[in-house]
Chains A and B, each alone.
Chain A
Amino acid sequence: MALLPADFADLEPFTAWCLPSEKDRFAKRISSTMPELQAFYDAAFPRLQESEDYLKSVALDGISEEDRNLLWLFASLVTVSFPVEVWRQPRVPDSGASSIDVVVAPNP
């Protein structure tokens, strides 16, 4: 069964990234390998780039399940962009054992 809007069917292989919590998105990022992160980025980044108008047409009030999944998939892409675009590793450099945990987050 499709989880994403029909126009985004090409991203169905990456729906494991449709995660509503920032904690889960970050956890998946740091437990992934760089090739996995790169593959997700390479597939999803161009779609984000061309979807500004569509995403602006998606009102958060009464958002559909498919659009909500797409939103969380792109939110995962946002956190994945750091390892891919700058760090060249899943973790934040020089962050060692430090952690910052989300305690309140809006949904969406």
Chain B
Amino acid sequence: MPHFTKPAEGSWTEHFGLATEPVSYDDSISPEFYEAERDAIFRRTWLNVGRVEQLPRNGSYFTRELDAARTSVIIVRDMKGTVRAFHNICRHRGNKLVWEDYPREETSGVCRQFTCKYHGWRYDLEGALTFVQQESEFFDLDRNRFGLVPVTTDIWEGFIFVNFDPDAQPLRDYMGRLGAGLEGYPFHLMTQRHTYRAEIGANWKLFIDAFMEFYHAPVLHAKQATAEESRKLQGFGYEALAYDVDGPHSMISSWGGMSPPKDLSMVKPMERVLRSGLFGKWEGPDIGELPPGVNPSRSPSWGTDSFLFFPNFMLLVWKPNWYLTYHYWPTSYNTHIFETSLCFAPPTNAFERLQEELAVVTFKEYGLQDGNTLEATQTMIESRAVTEFPLCDQEVMLRHLHTTCRRYVAEHQAGHATPVRITAAS
């Protein structure tokens, strides 16, 4: 018996028009498919590269290594305050323009102009070429023709995105109904940020799979709860409150009884003392009414919503009023860099800072278990000893993600400029 109501079709999977057969993971173990994804997905969709708080003043900049999109970009707030993005390449001989000691490492800072390390060519923050070393040695050099190559950029709710498709649809349209439902959430007030990064030995989609279902949670993370609570959780299993799909994007709305727990004996001594845990401080800051896209079923048991904005940007909003982001940046068909930022309203006193620390560190303990499992999965599916895998209804968003990726690749290979949207059977 389901504890939470399912759609009239009897399952979420059928509700969203997805197949129920076992799936193939060929799309996660094939170098050729990954090469296709780079062009069909990472050079054709809006990619979130950071937040406006990372550019606090005019002249602030940071770089992003976007291997999957075959480039490196500079994101900068120009002297007029406009956020711009450029390919990180000098127009003279193609040297990477902005980097510190190691060309493949990202960097950030504040500057008034960009100067190439190689021959000293300079560009202002709007991308114009302003200085050429020994300019008279060149042949009719028209500086106007050699400005930095701009990358389409836009901002949604303080999140900065880039897009390498010259025909990209506007960002706000791309974010669709799920994005619109989050607008107004006070992301800008949650400026206390902890960022972690890990190199993961698995295809980028496999880690998204791990975070777009909680069917694994009562098992893989069993020891994170007290023994009695753990037995109870495994007996109960996992069911989401609701799922939703809009075009390539998807979300899971999940219950969570830990903020605060119904019974204090359910949680570890440190959680009892600090009144905090994986779900954050039990008593979060007052942020007023939540936008309609958060806890869409308006369930009193609601704990967290996980949004996947295709292809690789996840946004999790938690009941005690904080949020985190996940990004998955592919570096090959079986490796990627995972990044997460946990963002809170700034604590005012030492006790609140410790409550925050417990939430962050608890997350890290889970993340270490998740990351390790992925490598174990990748190596075995690469063995091709088994080629078909049954997915349950609580894994519906995995089917949606892999279907979406395959469709983008197929559309791109068929020569369509714009992938056809997958529509929800609503």
Which residues from 329 to 355 on chain B have a C-beta closer than 8 Å to any C-beta of chain A?
A: 338-339, 341, 346-354
User: What are 13 sample pairs from A and B whose C-beta atoms fall under 8 A apart?
Assistant: A48-B273, A48-B274, A52-B351, A55-B349, A56-B351, A59-B349, A67-B350, A94-B373, A95-B369, A96-B372, A100-B368, A102-B194, A103-B339
Q: Give every chain B residue within 8 A of A103 (Cβ-Cβ).
A: 195-197, 339
Q: Which applies to chain B's interface (DSSP): helix, strand, loop or mixed?
A: helix
> How far apart are B410's CB and chain A's nearest CB, in angstroms?
33
Indicate which residue in A26, A45, A56, A98 contacts B198 across the interface (CB closer than 8 Å).
A98
Chain B, Cβ-Cβ closest to A49: B273
Mask: chain B, 354-373; 1 = CB below 8 Å from A; 0 = not: 10011011001101110111
> How far apart are B195's CB and chain A's nearest CB, in angstroms?
4
> How far apart are B86's CB and chain A's nearest CB, in angstroms?
23
Distance A94 CA – B224 CA, assembled complex (angstroms): 12
Distance A18 CA – B353 CA, assembled complex (angstroms): 15
Distance A64 CA – B224 CA, assembled complex (angstroms): 35
Interface contacts beyond A58-B351, A70-B350: sample of 10 additional A-B pairs, CB < 8 Å, sorted by A:
A22-B361, A55-B351, A60-B349, A74-B354, A81-B269, A95-B369, A99-B368, A101-B196, A103-B339, A106-B346
Interface size class of A (residues with CB under 8 A): 35 or more
Indicate which residue in A71, A97, A101 contacts B197 across the interface (CB closer than 8 Å).
A101
Distance A52 CA – B276 CA, assembled complex (angstroms): 13
- B354/A75 in contact, CB under 8 A: yes
Mask: chain A, 49-65; 1 = CB below 8 Å from B; 0 = not: 10010011111110100
- B368/A92 in contact, CB under 8 A: yes
Distance A101 CA – B194 CA, assembled complex (angstroms): 11
Q: Give every chain A residue within 8 A of B200 (Cβ-Cβ).
A: 98
Could you list which residues of chain B lie within 8 angstroms of chain A, going by C-beta atoms? 192-198, 200, 220, 223-224, 268-270, 273-274, 338-339, 341, 346-354, 357-358, 360-361, 364-365, 367-369, 371-373, 375
- A106/B194 in contact, CB under 8 A: yes
- A58/B270 in contact, CB under 8 A: no
Q: Tell me if A1 is interfacial: C-beta within 8 Å of chain B.
A: no
Chain B, Cβ-Cβ closest to A108: B353
> How far apart are B314's CB and chain A's nearest CB, in angstroms?
16
- A78/B357 in contact, CB under 8 A: yes
Indicate which residue in A26, A57, A82, A95 contacts B372 across the interface (CB closer than 8 Å).
A95
Q: Give every chain B residue within 8 A of A58 (Cβ-Cβ).
A: 349-351
Mask: chain A, 70-92; 1 = CB below 8 Å from B; 0 = not: 11001101110110011100001
